[in-house]
Amino acid sequence: MSAELRLPYLQGYAPELLAQVRGLIASGRLAQTVAKRHSETHEVRTERALYDYVNELKSRHMRSAPPLSKVAYDAKLHIVKNALGTHSAVSRVQGSKLKAKREIRIASVFKEAPADFLRMIVVHELAHLKERDHDKAFYALCQHMAPDYHQLEFDLRLWLTARELVASTDVTNVT
């Protein structure tokens, strides 16, 4: 069964790594493995709290970037397509338009996520204020703000995978 299991949140990662993940899933230890590494929760549940949180990180690392007009949790954001992208560049609005907007939208799922993952996604979105694409310069900026960025993004993808597995199990178990 595990060999057939698709891992949509982990596209682009090395086959050896995916084999390890499938092993964790098969033994039912994926969720607890992630939870162990990222046990700290957060209280950033309202838009006001999110605004403060984002601006605190912004003033620490990206003081020169222009102010944000809006910071919001967005329940309609599809996290892989819109928030994280795959490992290729996402097409985005052209320069001037993007500049004019300067909003940060965070998928609502992060309200319930470990503190590390909220920090990771905010760092990701802040980096987009300067770098449009998911290229070297972009990830360098992410790592400047969060030295453990790559590990965090991978673990976030594991967390999302584990969450979805639980959700699909719940559905099958309804009798």
* Among 1-9, 81-89, 112-120, 165-173, the segment contacting Zn ion (CB under 5 A): 81-89
* Among 1-9, 61-69, 78-86, 157-165, the segment contacting Zn ion (CB under 5 A): 78-86
**Which residue's Cβ has the minimum distance to Zn ion?**
85
Residue among 58, 73, 85, 145 that touches Zn ion (CB under 5 A): 85
Smallest distance from the beta carbon of 95 to Zn ion, in angstroms? 16
Report yes or no: 104 and 70 within 8 Å, Cβ to Cβ. yes
Q: Which is nearer to Zn ion, 85 or 114 (CB)?
A: 85
Q: Which is nearer to Zn ion, 24 or 123 (CB)?
A: 123
Inter-CA distances, 153 with 12, 85, 175, Å? 13, 11, 36
Smallest distance from the beta carbon of 84 to Zn ion, in angstroms? 6
Strands (E), the chain: 70-74, 103-107
Smallest distance from the beta carbon of 93 to Zn ion, in angstroms? 13
Residues in contact with Zn ion, shown as a per-residue x/- string from 105 to 144 under the rule CB under 5 A: ----------------------------------------
Inter-CA distances, 58 with 32, 68, 112, 125, 158, Å? 31, 10, 22, 10, 26
Task: Give the count of beta carbons closer than 10 Å to the beta carbon of residue 144.
Answer: 13
Show the DSSP H helices in 102-148 as ranges: 115-127, 136-145
Give the three-class secondary structure for 103.
Answer: strand
Smallest distance from the beta carbon of 168 to Zn ion, in angstroms? 26
Q: Which is nearer to Zn ion, 31 or 131 (CB)?
A: 131
Instruction: Give the whole-angstrom CA distance, residue 68 versus residue 74.
Output: 16
Binding site for Zn ion (CB under 5 A): 85
